Amino acid sequence: MAKIPLFTPRKAAASALAEIKQVAAPGAFQQPVRVWRVLVVDDEEEIHTVTKLVLRNFEFEGRNLVLLHANSATEARDHLTNYKDIAVVLLDVVMESDQAGLDLVREIRGPMKNTDVRIVLRTGQPGQAPEESVIRTYDINDYKNKTELTSIKLKTLLYAALRSYRDICLLHAQRQGLELTLDALSAVSHLRSLDRFTSAVLQQLVSLISYHDQAMYFNVASAFAQGEGGPEYRLLASSGMGEVAGEVSERTLLAQLITPEADAMMRQALAAKRSITDEHHFVGYFKTRAGSENLLYLSNVAELTEFDHRLLHIYCKNVAFAFENLQMQEEVEDSQRELIYMLGEAVEMRSKETGNHVKRMALVAELLAQKYGLEATDIEIIRHASPLHDLGKMGIPDEILNKPAQHTPEEREIMRTHARIGFDMLNSSDKRMLKVGAIIAHEHHEHWDGNGYPRGLKGEQIHIAARIAALADVCDALGSKRVYKEAWQHEDIVNFIRERSGLQFDPDLVTLLLDNMDAVREIRQRFPD
Protein backbone atom coordinates (compact mmCIF):
# COMPACT_ATOMS: atom_id res chain seq x y z
CA MET A 1 0.00 0.00 0.00
CA ALA A 2 1.36 3.42 -0.98
CA LYS A 3 1.49 5.51 2.19
CA ILE A 4 0.97 9.26 2.33
CA PRO A 5 3.93 11.02 4.02
CA LEU A 6 3.40 11.96 7.65
CA PHE A 7 2.05 15.42 8.24
CA THR A 8 4.85 17.82 9.17
CA PRO A 9 4.86 20.16 12.20
CA ARG A 10 3.92 23.74 11.49
CA LYS A 11 6.83 25.81 10.21
CA ALA A 12 7.66 29.22 11.64
CA ALA A 13 7.18 30.79 8.22
CA ALA A 14 5.45 34.04 7.33
CA SER A 15 1.79 33.72 6.46
CA ALA A 16 0.47 34.16 2.94
CA LEU A 17 -0.85 37.59 3.83
CA ALA A 18 2.61 38.67 4.96
CA GLU A 19 3.93 37.58 1.56
CA ILE A 20 1.26 39.66 -0.10
CA LYS A 21 2.09 42.75 1.94
CA GLN A 22 5.71 42.32 0.91
CA VAL A 23 4.73 42.16 -2.77
CA ALA A 24 2.67 45.34 -2.53
CA ALA A 25 4.40 47.30 0.20
CA PRO A 26 3.36 50.97 0.38
CA GLY A 27 5.49 53.00 -1.97
CA ALA A 28 6.29 50.07 -4.24
CA PHE A 29 4.38 51.73 -7.04
CA GLN A 30 5.76 55.12 -8.16
CA GLN A 31 3.06 57.64 -8.95
CA PRO A 32 3.51 60.32 -11.64
CA VAL A 33 4.82 63.61 -10.23
CA ARG A 34 2.35 66.41 -9.45
CA VAL A 35 4.82 69.21 -10.34
CA TRP A 36 7.65 69.48 -12.84
CA ARG A 37 11.04 69.92 -11.18
CA VAL A 38 13.72 71.57 -13.31
CA LEU A 39 17.29 71.88 -12.05
CA VAL A 40 19.29 74.90 -13.26
CA VAL A 41 23.03 74.32 -12.87
CA ASP A 42 25.24 77.34 -13.68
CA ASP A 43 27.95 79.37 -11.95
CA GLU A 44 26.61 82.66 -13.40
CA GLU A 45 23.95 84.22 -11.18
CA GLU A 46 22.48 86.15 -14.13
CA ILE A 47 21.57 82.86 -15.84
CA HIS A 48 19.55 81.79 -12.80
CA THR A 49 17.80 85.16 -12.65
CA VAL A 50 16.90 85.24 -16.35
CA THR A 51 15.75 81.61 -16.36
CA LYS A 52 13.53 82.26 -13.35
CA LEU A 53 12.08 85.37 -14.99
CA VAL A 54 11.32 83.70 -18.32
CA LEU A 55 9.71 80.63 -16.73
CA ARG A 56 7.89 82.34 -13.85
CA ASN A 57 4.40 81.47 -15.19
CA PHE A 58 5.32 78.32 -17.06
CA GLU A 59 2.81 75.47 -16.90
CA PHE A 60 2.61 72.14 -18.70
CA GLU A 61 -0.38 69.80 -18.66
CA GLY A 62 -1.86 71.53 -15.62
CA ARG A 63 1.27 71.18 -13.51
CA ASN A 64 3.40 74.03 -12.26
CA LEU A 65 7.13 74.31 -12.68
CA VAL A 66 9.44 74.18 -9.66
CA LEU A 67 12.96 75.49 -10.31
CA LEU A 68 15.88 74.17 -8.29
CA HIS A 69 19.16 76.08 -8.43
CA ALA A 70 22.79 74.96 -8.15
CA ASN A 71 25.92 77.06 -8.70
CA SER A 72 28.23 74.06 -9.13
CA ALA A 73 28.25 70.41 -10.06
CA THR A 74 28.71 69.59 -6.36
CA GLU A 75 25.48 71.40 -5.42
CA ALA A 76 23.71 69.77 -8.37
CA ARG A 77 24.65 66.30 -7.04
CA ASP A 78 22.95 67.11 -3.75
CA HIS A 79 19.72 68.12 -5.51
CA LEU A 80 19.77 65.01 -7.70
CA THR A 81 20.26 62.86 -4.61
CA ASN A 82 17.45 64.53 -2.64
CA TYR A 83 14.91 64.73 -5.49
CA LYS A 84 14.33 61.57 -7.50
CA ASP A 85 11.71 63.19 -9.74
CA ILE A 86 13.76 65.95 -11.40
CA ALA A 87 12.49 66.09 -14.98
CA VAL A 88 15.02 68.35 -16.69
CA VAL A 89 18.54 69.54 -15.93
CA LEU A 90 19.69 72.75 -17.65
CA LEU A 91 23.42 72.22 -17.24
CA ASP A 92 26.39 74.52 -17.83
CA VAL A 93 29.57 72.85 -19.10
CA VAL A 94 32.29 75.07 -17.63
CA MET A 95 31.98 75.71 -13.88
CA GLU A 96 34.47 74.71 -11.17
CA SER A 97 36.42 73.04 -14.01
CA ASP A 98 36.30 73.04 -17.80
CA GLN A 99 34.72 69.58 -17.74
CA ALA A 100 32.51 69.92 -14.61
CA GLY A 101 29.21 69.70 -16.51
CA LEU A 102 30.33 66.78 -18.68
CA ASP A 103 31.65 64.92 -15.63
CA LEU A 104 28.27 65.43 -13.97
CA VAL A 105 26.51 63.94 -17.03
CA ARG A 106 28.64 60.81 -16.73
CA GLU A 107 27.82 60.58 -13.00
CA ILE A 108 24.06 61.05 -13.54
CA ARG A 109 23.89 58.31 -16.17
CA GLY A 110 26.49 56.10 -14.47
CA PRO A 111 26.73 55.80 -10.67
CA MET A 112 23.40 57.57 -10.08
CA LYS A 113 21.70 55.31 -12.67
CA ASN A 114 19.29 58.07 -13.61
CA THR A 115 18.32 57.49 -17.23
CA ASP A 116 14.98 59.30 -17.00
CA VAL A 117 16.00 62.92 -16.42
CA ARG A 118 16.38 64.99 -19.60
CA ILE A 119 19.76 66.75 -19.74
CA VAL A 120 20.22 69.91 -21.78
CA LEU A 121 23.73 71.32 -21.96
CA ARG A 122 23.95 75.13 -22.07
CA THR A 123 27.33 76.68 -22.69
CA GLY A 124 28.69 80.12 -23.28
CA GLN A 125 31.98 78.71 -24.52
CA PRO A 126 31.12 76.24 -27.30
CA GLY A 127 34.78 75.93 -28.20
CA GLN A 128 35.48 74.22 -24.89
CA ALA A 129 33.03 71.41 -25.73
CA PRO A 130 32.27 71.09 -29.46
CA GLU A 131 28.60 70.27 -30.04
CA GLU A 132 28.97 67.21 -32.33
CA SER A 133 31.65 65.62 -30.19
CA VAL A 134 29.65 66.14 -26.95
CA ILE A 135 26.35 64.83 -28.35
CA ARG A 136 28.14 61.78 -29.78
CA THR A 137 30.08 61.00 -26.61
CA TYR A 138 27.70 61.95 -23.80
CA ASP A 139 24.15 60.77 -23.05
CA ILE A 140 22.48 64.17 -23.30
CA ASN A 141 19.22 65.23 -24.91
CA ASP A 142 20.07 68.65 -26.31
CA TYR A 143 22.92 71.11 -26.66
CA LYS A 144 22.38 74.88 -26.71
CA ASN A 145 24.56 77.94 -26.90
CA LYS A 146 23.45 80.41 -24.23
CA THR A 147 23.38 83.22 -26.77
CA GLU A 148 20.71 81.47 -28.87
CA LEU A 149 18.33 80.72 -25.98
CA THR A 150 15.73 83.44 -26.35
CA SER A 151 12.61 83.39 -24.18
CA ILE A 152 10.49 81.51 -26.74
CA LYS A 153 13.28 79.04 -27.57
CA LEU A 154 13.84 78.27 -23.88
CA LYS A 155 10.13 77.55 -23.44
CA THR A 156 10.04 75.45 -26.61
CA LEU A 157 13.05 73.48 -25.39
CA LEU A 158 11.34 72.91 -22.05
CA TYR A 159 8.05 71.76 -23.59
CA ALA A 160 9.92 69.18 -25.70
CA ALA A 161 12.03 67.97 -22.76
CA LEU A 162 9.04 67.64 -20.43
CA ARG A 163 7.01 65.71 -23.02
CA SER A 164 9.90 63.31 -23.37
CA TYR A 165 10.24 62.93 -19.60
CA ARG A 166 6.46 62.45 -19.24
CA ASP A 167 6.42 59.66 -21.82
CA ILE A 168 9.37 57.92 -20.17
CA CYS A 169 7.62 58.08 -16.78
CA LEU A 170 4.43 56.71 -18.30
CA LEU A 171 6.29 53.78 -19.82
CA HIS A 172 7.96 53.06 -16.49
CA ALA A 173 4.63 53.33 -14.67
CA GLN A 174 2.95 50.97 -17.11
CA ARG A 175 5.77 48.47 -16.81
CA GLN A 176 5.77 48.75 -13.00
CA GLY A 177 2.00 48.48 -12.92
CA LEU A 178 2.02 45.39 -15.11
CA GLU A 179 4.76 43.72 -13.06
CA LEU A 180 3.08 44.56 -9.77
CA THR A 181 -0.32 43.43 -11.01
CA LEU A 182 1.11 40.09 -12.14
CA ASP A 183 2.95 39.70 -8.83
CA ALA A 184 -0.19 40.62 -6.93
CA LEU A 185 -2.39 38.18 -8.81
CA SER A 186 0.23 35.50 -8.35
CA ALA A 187 0.38 36.25 -4.64
CA VAL A 188 -3.38 35.99 -4.09
CA SER A 189 -4.01 33.13 -6.51
CA HIS A 190 -2.63 30.49 -4.13
CA LEU A 191 -4.90 31.54 -1.28
CA ARG A 192 -7.60 28.91 -0.84
CA SER A 193 -9.70 30.83 1.70
CA LEU A 194 -12.18 33.41 0.42
CA ASP A 195 -11.68 35.56 3.52
CA ARG A 196 -7.90 35.64 3.11
CA PHE A 197 -8.24 36.10 -0.64
CA THR A 198 -10.50 39.14 -0.44
CA SER A 199 -8.39 40.80 2.25
CA ALA A 200 -5.36 40.30 0.03
CA VAL A 201 -7.22 41.72 -2.97
CA LEU A 202 -7.94 45.02 -1.25
CA GLN A 203 -4.41 45.20 0.13
CA GLN A 204 -3.16 44.93 -3.43
CA LEU A 205 -5.59 47.50 -4.79
CA VAL A 206 -4.74 50.25 -2.35
CA SER A 207 -1.04 49.54 -2.74
CA LEU A 208 -1.15 49.63 -6.53
CA ILE A 209 -2.40 53.22 -6.57
CA SER A 210 -0.95 54.43 -3.24
CA TYR A 211 -4.52 54.97 -2.11
CA HIS A 212 -5.27 55.24 1.61
CA ASP A 213 -8.91 56.31 1.98
CA GLN A 214 -12.21 54.44 2.15
CA ALA A 215 -12.50 51.41 -0.11
CA MET A 216 -15.04 48.60 -0.40
CA TYR A 217 -15.06 45.59 -2.70
CA PHE A 218 -18.35 43.76 -3.33
CA ASN A 219 -19.75 40.77 -5.12
CA VAL A 220 -23.31 41.37 -6.30
CA ALA A 221 -25.96 38.64 -6.09
CA SER A 222 -27.31 37.59 -9.47
CA ALA A 223 -30.59 39.17 -10.56
CA PHE A 224 -32.23 35.75 -10.14
CA ALA A 225 -31.20 35.64 -6.46
CA GLN A 226 -32.01 39.26 -5.60
CA GLY A 227 -35.00 40.18 -3.46
CA GLU A 228 -37.51 42.92 -4.02
CA GLY A 229 -35.30 45.50 -2.34
CA GLY A 230 -32.87 45.71 -5.23
CA PRO A 231 -29.21 44.67 -5.45
CA GLU A 232 -27.85 42.42 -2.72
CA TYR A 233 -24.20 43.05 -1.95
CA ARG A 234 -21.71 40.66 -0.43
CA LEU A 235 -18.90 42.62 1.19
CA LEU A 236 -15.67 40.90 0.21
CA ALA A 237 -13.29 43.37 1.86
CA SER A 238 -13.10 46.93 3.16
CA SER A 239 -10.38 49.39 4.07
CA GLY A 240 -10.37 52.70 5.90
CA MET A 241 -13.98 52.28 7.03
CA GLY A 242 -13.30 52.57 10.76
CA GLU A 243 -14.11 50.08 13.48
CA VAL A 244 -17.51 48.41 13.71
CA ALA A 245 -18.64 47.99 17.31
CA GLY A 246 -19.39 44.45 18.48
CA GLU A 247 -20.47 41.47 16.42
CA VAL A 248 -23.05 42.45 13.83
CA SER A 249 -24.81 40.66 10.99
CA GLU A 250 -23.70 41.21 7.42
CA ARG A 251 -26.90 43.16 6.71
CA THR A 252 -26.21 45.51 9.65
CA LEU A 253 -22.59 45.88 8.61
CA LEU A 254 -23.58 46.85 5.07
CA ALA A 255 -26.10 49.35 6.40
CA GLN A 256 -23.31 50.99 8.41
CA LEU A 257 -20.79 51.05 5.56
CA ILE A 258 -22.87 51.87 2.48
CA THR A 259 -24.00 55.50 2.52
CA PRO A 260 -27.00 56.58 0.42
CA GLU A 261 -24.57 58.32 -1.92
CA ALA A 262 -22.47 55.15 -2.33
CA ASP A 263 -25.58 53.03 -2.84
CA ALA A 264 -26.87 55.38 -5.53
CA MET A 265 -23.58 55.30 -7.42
CA MET A 266 -23.30 51.51 -7.19
CA ARG A 267 -26.87 51.09 -8.49
CA GLN A 268 -26.00 53.46 -11.33
CA ALA A 269 -22.89 51.42 -12.23
CA LEU A 270 -24.90 48.19 -12.13
CA ALA A 271 -27.62 49.66 -14.35
CA ALA A 272 -25.11 51.07 -16.85
CA LYS A 273 -22.91 47.94 -16.70
CA ARG A 274 -19.78 50.10 -16.59
CA SER A 275 -17.47 51.94 -14.21
CA ILE A 276 -18.50 55.46 -13.24
CA THR A 277 -16.79 58.34 -11.46
CA ASP A 278 -17.50 61.85 -10.23
CA GLU A 279 -15.34 64.50 -8.56
CA HIS A 280 -14.94 62.53 -5.34
CA HIS A 281 -15.92 58.88 -5.93
CA PHE A 282 -15.07 55.96 -8.17
CA VAL A 283 -17.21 52.86 -8.66
CA GLY A 284 -15.54 50.16 -10.72
CA TYR A 285 -17.82 47.64 -12.44
CA PHE A 286 -16.35 44.29 -13.40
CA LYS A 287 -18.19 41.33 -14.89
CA THR A 288 -16.74 37.86 -15.38
CA ARG A 289 -17.36 35.47 -18.23
CA ALA A 290 -19.80 33.53 -16.04
CA GLY A 291 -21.83 36.68 -15.37
CA SER A 292 -20.61 37.41 -11.82
CA GLU A 293 -20.74 41.16 -11.11
CA ASN A 294 -18.25 42.88 -8.80
CA LEU A 295 -18.02 46.48 -7.63
CA LEU A 296 -15.10 48.46 -6.25
CA TYR A 297 -16.10 51.64 -4.39
CA LEU A 298 -13.49 54.31 -3.61
CA SER A 299 -14.19 57.66 -1.94
CA ASN A 300 -12.14 60.88 -2.12
CA VAL A 301 -10.42 59.95 -5.37
CA ALA A 302 -9.93 63.39 -6.85
CA GLU A 303 -6.21 62.72 -7.40
CA LEU A 304 -6.56 59.40 -9.24
CA THR A 305 -5.02 59.71 -12.69
CA GLU A 306 -6.30 58.25 -15.93
CA PHE A 307 -3.57 55.65 -15.63
CA ASP A 308 -4.80 54.78 -12.11
CA HIS A 309 -8.28 54.17 -13.50
CA ARG A 310 -6.98 51.93 -16.27
CA LEU A 311 -4.83 49.99 -13.81
CA LEU A 312 -7.76 49.55 -11.43
CA HIS A 313 -9.96 48.28 -14.22
CA ILE A 314 -7.44 45.74 -15.51
CA TYR A 315 -6.57 44.54 -12.04
CA CYS A 316 -10.13 44.27 -10.70
CA LYS A 317 -11.36 42.50 -13.80
CA ASN A 318 -8.73 39.81 -13.38
CA VAL A 319 -9.35 39.62 -9.63
CA ALA A 320 -13.06 39.08 -10.33
CA PHE A 321 -12.17 36.06 -12.49
CA ALA A 322 -9.85 34.72 -9.78
CA PHE A 323 -12.51 35.23 -7.10
CA GLU A 324 -15.12 33.44 -9.18
CA ASN A 325 -12.84 30.45 -9.69
CA LEU A 326 -11.97 30.35 -6.00
CA GLN A 327 -15.63 30.63 -5.03
CA MET A 328 -16.55 27.72 -7.30
CA GLN A 329 -13.67 25.69 -5.88
CA GLU A 330 -14.76 26.44 -2.32
CA GLU A 331 -18.35 25.47 -3.10
CA VAL A 332 -17.15 22.12 -4.47
CA GLU A 333 -14.97 21.55 -1.41
CA ASP A 334 -17.82 22.54 0.94
CA SER A 335 -20.05 20.04 -0.84
CA GLN A 336 -17.40 17.35 -0.43
CA ARG A 337 -17.06 18.09 3.29
CA GLU A 338 -20.82 18.02 3.78
CA LEU A 339 -21.07 14.68 1.98
CA ILE A 340 -18.32 13.28 4.18
CA TYR A 341 -20.25 14.28 7.31
CA MET A 342 -23.41 12.78 5.83
CA LEU A 343 -21.59 9.48 5.17
CA GLY A 344 -20.29 9.43 8.74
CA GLU A 345 -23.74 10.16 10.11
CA ALA A 346 -25.25 7.46 7.86
CA VAL A 347 -22.93 4.91 9.46
CA GLU A 348 -23.98 6.13 12.92
CA MET A 349 -27.67 5.85 12.03
CA ARG A 350 -27.20 2.33 10.64
CA SER A 351 -25.52 1.43 13.92
CA LYS A 352 -28.55 2.92 15.71
CA GLU A 353 -26.17 5.46 17.22
CA THR A 354 -27.84 8.81 16.68
CA GLY A 355 -26.48 12.16 17.79
CA ASN A 356 -23.51 14.34 16.99
CA HIS A 357 -20.69 11.85 17.56
CA VAL A 358 -18.98 12.35 14.18
CA LYS A 359 -19.17 16.14 14.50
CA ARG A 360 -17.74 16.11 18.04
CA MET A 361 -15.10 13.57 17.11
CA ALA A 362 -13.99 15.70 14.16
CA LEU A 363 -13.68 18.81 16.36
CA VAL A 364 -11.71 16.94 19.03
CA ALA A 365 -9.42 15.59 16.28
CA GLU A 366 -8.96 19.14 15.00
CA LEU A 367 -8.08 20.31 18.53
CA LEU A 368 -5.48 17.55 18.94
CA ALA A 369 -3.97 18.26 15.52
CA GLN A 370 -3.62 21.93 16.41
CA LYS A 371 -2.01 21.20 19.76
CA TYR A 372 0.31 18.69 18.11
CA GLY A 373 1.57 21.46 15.82
CA LEU A 374 0.51 20.26 12.38
CA GLU A 375 0.26 22.52 9.37
CA ALA A 376 -3.06 24.37 8.95
CA THR A 377 -3.93 22.44 5.77
CA ASP A 378 -3.22 19.12 7.49
CA ILE A 379 -5.37 20.13 10.45
CA GLU A 380 -8.25 20.89 8.11
CA ILE A 381 -7.86 17.56 6.31
CA ILE A 382 -7.87 15.63 9.59
CA ARG A 383 -11.00 17.41 10.74
CA HIS A 384 -12.91 16.59 7.57
CA ALA A 385 -11.52 13.09 7.03
CA SER A 386 -12.05 11.85 10.61
CA PRO A 387 -15.82 11.24 10.24
CA LEU A 388 -14.97 8.50 7.71
CA HIS A 389 -13.21 6.34 10.32
CA ASP A 390 -16.06 3.80 10.58
CA LEU A 391 -17.24 3.91 6.97
CA GLY A 392 -16.37 0.22 6.59
CA LYS A 393 -19.21 -0.67 8.98
CA MET A 394 -21.47 -0.25 5.96
CA GLY A 395 -20.25 -3.74 4.97
CA ILE A 396 -20.97 -5.39 8.33
CA PRO A 397 -24.27 -7.36 8.68
CA ASP A 398 -26.92 -5.69 10.87
CA GLU A 399 -27.18 -8.64 13.27
CA ILE A 400 -23.51 -8.26 14.12
CA LEU A 401 -23.27 -4.46 13.91
CA ASN A 402 -26.22 -3.85 16.23
CA LYS A 403 -25.86 -6.85 18.51
CA PRO A 404 -26.56 -5.60 22.08
CA ALA A 405 -24.60 -8.47 23.63
CA GLN A 406 -20.92 -9.37 23.47
CA HIS A 407 -19.66 -10.65 20.12
CA THR A 408 -18.52 -14.22 19.64
CA PRO A 409 -14.92 -14.71 18.44
CA GLU A 410 -16.23 -15.28 14.90
CA GLU A 411 -18.42 -12.17 15.03
CA ARG A 412 -15.52 -10.17 16.42
CA GLU A 413 -13.36 -11.12 13.44
CA ILE A 414 -16.14 -10.09 11.04
CA MET A 415 -16.56 -6.81 12.90
CA ARG A 416 -12.83 -6.11 12.62
CA THR A 417 -13.01 -6.33 8.84
CA HIS A 418 -14.66 -2.90 8.79
CA ALA A 419 -11.18 -1.32 8.96
CA ARG A 420 -10.10 -2.95 5.69
CA ILE A 421 -13.51 -2.42 4.06
CA GLY A 422 -13.36 1.30 4.80
CA PHE A 423 -9.84 1.52 3.40
CA ASP A 424 -10.83 -0.28 0.19
CA MET A 425 -13.85 2.00 -0.27
CA LEU A 426 -11.81 5.19 0.02
CA ASN A 427 -8.31 4.41 -1.20
CA SER A 428 -9.21 4.37 -4.90
CA SER A 429 -9.84 8.14 -4.78
CA ASP A 430 -7.07 10.53 -5.82
CA LYS A 431 -8.40 13.26 -3.47
CA ARG A 432 -6.08 13.84 -0.55
CA MET A 433 -8.91 14.20 1.97
CA LEU A 434 -10.32 10.80 1.00
CA LYS A 435 -6.83 9.28 0.91
CA VAL A 436 -6.32 10.40 4.51
CA GLY A 437 -9.83 9.13 5.29
CA ALA A 438 -8.74 5.72 3.95
CA ILE A 439 -5.70 5.71 6.24
CA ILE A 440 -7.79 6.70 9.26
CA ALA A 441 -10.37 3.99 8.48
CA HIS A 442 -7.61 1.39 8.14
CA GLU A 443 -5.45 2.32 11.13
CA HIS A 444 -7.71 3.84 13.81
CA HIS A 445 -7.84 0.46 15.66
CA GLU A 446 -4.06 0.01 15.64
CA HIS A 447 -2.49 0.34 19.11
CA TRP A 448 0.65 2.19 20.16
CA ASP A 449 2.07 -1.03 21.66
CA GLY A 450 1.40 -3.07 18.50
CA ASN A 451 -1.54 -5.09 19.85
CA GLY A 452 -4.21 -3.50 17.64
CA TYR A 453 -5.63 -4.54 14.30
CA PRO A 454 -5.77 -5.20 11.36
CA ARG A 455 -1.97 -5.19 10.82
CA GLY A 456 -0.45 -4.87 14.27
CA LEU A 457 1.29 -1.56 13.53
CA LYS A 458 3.29 -0.08 16.39
CA GLY A 459 4.20 3.44 17.56
CA GLU A 460 4.92 5.89 14.77
CA GLN A 461 4.28 3.21 12.17
CA ILE A 462 0.68 4.31 12.69
CA HIS A 463 -0.13 7.44 10.71
CA ILE A 464 -0.46 10.52 12.93
CA ALA A 465 -3.92 11.20 11.45
CA ALA A 466 -5.06 7.72 12.53
CA ARG A 467 -3.52 8.14 16.01
CA ILE A 468 -5.36 11.43 16.46
CA ALA A 469 -8.67 10.10 15.11
CA ALA A 470 -8.46 6.97 17.28
CA LEU A 471 -8.03 8.97 20.49
CA ALA A 472 -10.73 11.48 19.54
CA ASP A 473 -13.12 8.66 18.63
CA VAL A 474 -12.68 6.73 21.87
CA CYS A 475 -12.81 9.89 24.01
CA ASP A 476 -16.18 10.89 22.59
CA ALA A 477 -17.62 7.38 22.17
CA LEU A 478 -17.06 6.56 25.84
CA GLY A 479 -19.19 9.54 26.79
CA SER A 480 -22.01 8.49 24.44
CA LYS A 481 -24.70 5.88 24.94
CA ARG A 482 -24.49 2.84 22.65
CA VAL A 483 -26.65 -0.26 22.14
CA TYR A 484 -24.12 -2.23 24.15
CA LYS A 485 -23.31 0.31 26.94
CA GLU A 486 -24.34 3.40 28.85
CA ALA A 487 -22.49 6.73 28.63
CA TRP A 488 -19.45 6.96 30.91
CA GLN A 489 -18.86 9.70 33.46
CA HIS A 490 -16.18 12.29 32.67
CA GLU A 491 -13.83 11.10 35.44
CA ASP A 492 -14.05 7.49 34.23
CA ILE A 493 -13.19 8.58 30.67
CA VAL A 494 -10.13 10.50 31.90
CA ASN A 495 -8.94 7.54 34.00
CA PHE A 496 -9.36 5.07 31.12
CA ILE A 497 -7.45 7.23 28.65
CA ARG A 498 -4.67 7.80 31.17
CA GLU A 499 -4.40 4.04 31.81
CA ARG A 500 -4.26 3.28 28.07
CA SER A 501 -1.51 5.85 27.40
CA GLY A 502 1.47 4.12 25.80
CA LEU A 503 -0.59 0.97 25.29
CA GLN A 504 -3.49 1.88 23.03
CA PHE A 505 -2.82 5.57 22.51
CA ASP A 506 0.13 7.78 21.60
CA PRO A 507 1.32 9.10 25.01
CA ASP A 508 2.10 12.56 23.61
CA LEU A 509 -1.44 12.86 22.28
CA VAL A 510 -2.86 11.65 25.60
CA THR A 511 -0.99 14.41 27.40
CA LEU A 512 -2.35 17.00 24.96
CA LEU A 513 -5.88 15.67 25.34
CA LEU A 514 -5.83 15.60 29.15
CA ASP A 515 -4.37 19.11 29.22
CA ASN A 516 -7.30 20.33 27.13
CA MET A 517 -10.23 18.41 28.57
CA ASP A 518 -12.09 21.65 29.31
CA ALA A 519 -12.16 22.37 25.58
CA VAL A 520 -13.31 18.79 24.90
CA ARG A 521 -16.17 19.15 27.38
CA GLU A 522 -17.13 22.47 25.79
CA ILE A 523 -17.38 20.70 22.39
CA ARG A 524 -19.74 18.09 23.90
CA GLN A 525 -21.88 20.83 25.46
CA ARG A 526 -22.15 22.62 22.11
CA PHE A 527 -23.16 19.46 20.21
CA PRO A 528 -25.08 17.21 22.61
CA ASP A 529 -26.77 13.97 21.51
Report the catalytic residues: 393
Contacts 24+ apart (CB under 8 A), 501-508: 502/448, 502/449, 503/447, 503/448, 503/449, 503/451, 504/447, 504/448, 504/449, 504/452, 504/470, 504/474, 505/447, 505/448, 505/467, 505/470, 505/471, 505/474, 506/448, 506/462, 506/467, 506/471, 507/448, 508/372
Whether the CB-CB separation of 234 and 54 falls below 8 Å is answered with: no
The helix/strand/coil state of 508 is helix
**CA angle at 94 for the pair 88 and 99, rounded to the nearest 5°:** 95
Give the chain's end-to-end CA distance (angstroms, integer).
Answer: 37
Chain-centre distance of CA 452, in angstroms?
45
Question: Strand locations in 13-81, DSSP E?
Answer: 36-41, 59-60, 63-70
- β-strands 36-41, 86-92: how paired? parallel
Chain-centre distance of CA 361, in angstroms?
32
Backbone angles phi, psi at 27, to 5 degrees: 95, -5
Q: How far apart are CA 95 and CA 315, in angstroms?
A: 50
| Per-position DSSP letters for 197-239, written without gaps between them | HHHHHHHHHHHHTT--S-EEEEEE--GGG--TTS--EEEEEEE
Cβ-proximal residues to 179 (8 Å cutoff; 6+ apart), any chain: none
Q: What share of the chain is helix, strand, coil (3-state, %, to 5)?
A: 55, 15, 35
Polymer length in residues for the chain: 529
The helix/strand/coil state of 294 is strand
